[in-house]
Amino acid sequence: MSIISKDIQKAITLLTNDELVAIPTETVYGLAGNIFSEKAIHKIFATKKRPFFNPLIVHVASVNALKDIVAEIPEKAMLLAEAFWPGSMTLVLKKSSKIPDLITASKDTVAVRVPNHVVTLELLEKLPFPLAAPSANPFGSISPTKPLHVENYFKEHIKMVLDGGNCKNGIESTIIGFENDNPIIYRLGALAVEDIEAVVGKISIKNKEENSPDAPGMLARHYAPTTKTILVTDVAAEVEKNKGKKIGILVFKDSLSNDAVTEIVLSNKGLLEEAAANLYDAMHALDHQNLEVIIAEKLPNYGLGKSMNDRLQRATFSV
């Protein structure tokens, strides 16, 4: 029986009883639990097989709820919150003493965002507690952008996926932390760097590669299909090199018109937003085709292309 359901009341009952519910957001589906329930938070880590050193994002219904979560709000954080919430931006701020250490991996900061999805906003407004929600995928694998992706991963482990359709943006939120009250991007994501800079001016990007990163979504290998995947500029040349193998290709806008390969075009119109919305679904689809190799094309390195290249680099072996 399917665990996918639109029943918000059922989600409320489960979450109130320390259970997990996968929730829709505009970025990716999250695996949600009550931030104040130790039992629920332990289940999140166990279900994802996620290491405890990797902190969770707290989801709230509005900017107003921020004051209960964080100890202080730098001026530029407020500007960003007002500009982009509800939306695909997570702020990392000094935590309030009310936030359990389990959520923050004992850091003195907490990650928080207001997601932009009607169903989840309604859920958050009705619940008397915020929701902790990492992406609803096993640690290290591709994030889910459709209810079915979550069901495929977790139908044995959770009772419900709250159906909110396909995720509009399709790539995780952009994470912004603060050093001396100045914003720094910790994780590239669904909000383009250019749009953030339009609000707070030039911003630096800390592209984490080491093993104890500020945002472990930044581990060198993450977001990865199980099929060997490589990232290249010249897809046709790479297909030629892999002749004889069962090949899948993931291209931005131009079809290779090669019947010997399984191909997904991310956006025929060449729109980066559309490509981002399709990226993870395409990776899930190719990964289920019993291919020997997936060859992905590098995207233009600006706007959401930059965020997609970041994810593809972590999912692949560059050649």
Contact residues: ligand TXA, CB under 6 A:
25, 27-28, 30, 54-57, 90, 92, 104, 107, 109-111, 115, 133-135, 172-173, 175, 186, 214-217
- The residue number whose beta carbon is nearest to Mg ion equals 135
Exposed, middle or buried, 73 (CB in 10 Å: 0-12/13-18/19+)?
A: middle
150 binds, among Mg ion, ligand TXA, none (CB under 5 to 8 A by kind): none
Quickly count: other Cβ atoms within 10 Å of residue 132's Cβ. Answer: 29
Please identify, using beta-carbon distances, which residue of 109 and 135 lies nearer to Mg ion: 135
Q: How far is the CB of 159 from ligand TXA (least distance, A)?
A: 18
CA dihedral of residues 202, 207, 212, 215 (deg, nearest 10): 60
CA distance 240 to 285: 23
Please identify, using beta-carbon distances, which residue of 141 and 229 lies nearer to Mg ion: 141
Q: Applying CB under 5 A, which part among 6-14, 135-143, 182-190, 229-237 lies near Mg ion? A: 135-143
47 binds, among ligand TXA, Mg ion, none (CB under 5 to 8 A by kind): none
110 binds, among ligand TXA, Mg ion, none (CB under 5 to 8 A by kind): ligand TXA
Q: Which of residues 210-229 bind Mg ion (CB under 5 A)?
A: none
Alpha helices in 69-139 (DSSP H): 75-84, 101-104, 118-126
CA distance 280 to 28: 9
Among positions 25, 27, 109, 135, the unique one binding Mg ion when judged by CB under 5 A: 135
In the structure encoding, which two tokens stand for residue 4, read together? 């996918």
In the structure encoding, which two tokens stand for residue 270, read together? 């060449």
| Chain residues in the site for Mg ion (CB under 5 A) | 135
